[in-house]
């Protein structure tokens, strides 16, 4: 059902939908969905430490990321 120019995640997404719905998306909508799937990729870091803590009803989430800055100054 998915066109060959779609990414694998988008193709699987469209294949899981009813055919009438999958073919109803415009090109702009397909690009937006593809962008969403691309944003799910998590870049690697030298240190990637994530912890959740709970104190009764209070839930906290801590993240420490360390890595090289890939953007020019």
Element (H, E) at 61: strand 58-66
In this prediction, residue 70 has a pLDDT band, given cuts at 50, 70 and 90, of confident
Domain spans of the chain? 8-39
Return the pLDDT at 7: 82
Residue where the block lists tokens 């962008």: 35
The answer to whether the beta carbons of residues 41 and 47 sit under 8 Å apart is: no
Query: What angle, 0 to 180 degrees and rounded to 10, lies between the N-to-C axes of helices 8-16 and 27-39?
Result: 120
Q: pLDDT tens for residues 6-49?
A: 788 899 999 999 999 999 999 999 999 988 887 776 677 888 89
pLDDT at 2 over 50: no
Return the pLDDT at 4: 54
- pLDDT (average), residues 48-56: 92
């Amino acid at each position: 059902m998915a066109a060959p120019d779609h990414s694998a995640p988008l193709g699987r997404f469209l294949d899981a939908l009813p055919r009438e719905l999958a073919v109803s998306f415009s090109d702009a909508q397909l690009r937006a969905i593809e962008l969403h799937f691309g944003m799910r990729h998590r870049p690697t870091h030298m240190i990637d430490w994530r912890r959740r803590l709970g104190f009764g009803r209070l839930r906290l989430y801590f993240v420490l990321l360390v890595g090289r800055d890939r953007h020019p100054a």
